[in-house]
Amino acid sequence: MTADDDILVTNDIRIPRSELTFQFSRSGGPGGQNVNKVNTRVQMRWNIEQTEALNEEVSHRFQALNRRRINSDGELIITSQRYRDQLRNIDDCIEKLQELVTAAATKPRRRRPTKPSAGAKRRRLQGKRERSERKERRRPPRLGED
């Protein structure tokens, strides 16, 4: 990918790379001297509220699904330090973004209300009856009975 390419998410959704900003820092974890010298950790920011890439419906669904990743300025923040080089971590952030947008782009199915089957009702009532009898047997006998 070149710097001017759009990120293709679905046939309808393309995110311009110009809307993404990247910050780099030193990654934690194993890696020897490389960790101490090279800024391989990538933090990608994308302003959801100002993007033209998402229509209103997908944007609302995206914000609802990713509330915790969006800061008070309306920016989605994705970080990656999975790999030991910067370019692979940038690609990893973009892949994560594509997955999140794809999940928001698919409309949730409407739940079709169903009734429990006769067998399910029978099993539920049988279980309740057995539990009731088990608890009844634990009680001490009442006065005047038996």
Give how many domains the chain has, as a whole number: 1
Q: What is the mean pLDDT of residues 63-68?
A: 88
For residue 21, what are the domain limits? 6-105
Highest mean pLDDT among 5-14, 91-100, 123-132: 123-132
**pLDDT score for 3:** 45
In a domain, 112, yes or no: no
Q: What is the mean pLDDT of residues 63-75?
A: 87
**pLDDT score for 34:** 67
pLDDT tens-digit series, residues 9-63? 777 888 888 888 888 888 776 666 766 677 888 999 988 888 888 888 888 888 8
In a domain, 57, yes or no: yes
In a domain, 113, yes or no: no
In a domain, 135, yes or no: no
Q: What is the pTM of this model?
A: 0.68
Mean pLDDT for all residues in the chain: 85
In a domain, 128, yes or no: no
Higher-pLDDT residue of 83 and 117 is 117
What single string gives the DSSP state of each residue in the chain?
A: --TTPEEE-SSS-EEEGGGEEEEEE---SS-THHHHH---EEEEEEETTT-SSS-HHHHHHHHHHTGGGB-TTSEEEEEE-SSSSHHHHHHHHHHHHHHHHHHHHSPPPPP---PPPHHHHHHHHHHHHHHHHHHHHHSPPPTT--
In a domain, 127, yes or no: no
In a domain, 137, yes or no: no
In a domain, 139, yes or no: no
For the domain that residue 75 is a member of, what is the CATH number? 3.30.160.20
